[in-house]
Chains A and B, each alone.
Chain A
Amino acid sequence: MLDKTKVGHQFNPFVIDIEKGRLKFFAKAIGETNPIYFDEQAALEQGHRSILAPPTFPFTIELDGPELLPVLTLLDMDIGRVLHGSQEFEYFDNIYAGDQITVAVSIKTIFDKKGGALEFVVLESSFTNQAKTLVAKACNTLVYRN
């Protein structure tokens, strides 16, 4: 069973530079056709200050920290048994290429179902830009197959 005393644990915050090239690569990988997500000129012409990060990009920012999903190490989880259960985002402002985003992740809760056969870890994240504006929050539920 996962160590429930880790509920409330706050991982070390980290800062990620939002790079144009990375946003272009992400847009290509998801088949994006709207140029504001990969062409800076098109983004500027539509009133944006640079290439716009798409709605699920905060999850990628979170994965770009110093360690991929540090919760796996903290709770001694085997990555091959982890599934993504659900994901939520709440938005307060756009994220653009050139921004510096500070990511703070904590463990909101840990619970189990089916007599412990499935365990759930809920992570909460906040995304704050270089102007100290909270731009997004996210909530990520991981499912652990025992």
Chain B
Amino acid sequence: MSNITLGSQLPPLTLPAISRTTLALFAGASGDHNPIHIDTDFAKKCGMSDVFAHGMLSMAYLGRLLTNWLPQAQLKKFSAKFVAITQLQDVITCSGEVVELIDNNGESLAKVAIKAENADGQSTLVGEALVSISIT
């Protein structure tokens, strides 16, 4: 895709506020049944003030950011660090920027810095994706 250059921004993705329903649905759908995300009593027993979002929920949002931008078959690597807890009612925005163009034996790749952040601008996930851009 010729319009992908250094500094290209991915169309950002802003999600609805995280609710208890969001977490219940994601627990069931993802198979992550850790009660710390869905059972307030359990979360309090573990020293948390309340349930909080699964890190993998926001990583799935980052996945949507990437596949909204390019077909999934072009995604080669995708990683994220969970740097802050996502709380109930947080509004998460995912964004990304092409930070490096790589020529790997004739295959053009782009390295994309991606992040999820809350409405206060605090990063919750910081990650990276490697995408192939030679086949488009």
Q: Which residues of A contact B (CB under 8 A)?
A: 22, 25-26, 28-32, 34, 52, 54-56, 59-60, 63-64, 68, 79-91, 94
Contact = CB atoms under 8 A, between A and B. Distances in A.
B56 A84 contact: yes
B8 interface: no
Contacts of B116: none
A88 B79 contact: yes
A89 B60 contact: no
Contacts of B68: 34
A110 B84 CA distance: 22
Interface residues of B, number: 39
B55 interface: yes
A60 B81 CA distance: 18
Judged by DSSP, the binding face of B is: helix
B82 A84 contact: yes
Nearest to A65: B31
A79 B36 contact: yes
A55 B30 contact: no
B30 A26 contact: yes
B72 A55 contact: yes
A22 B34 CA distance: 19
B28 interface: yes
Contacts of B66: 55
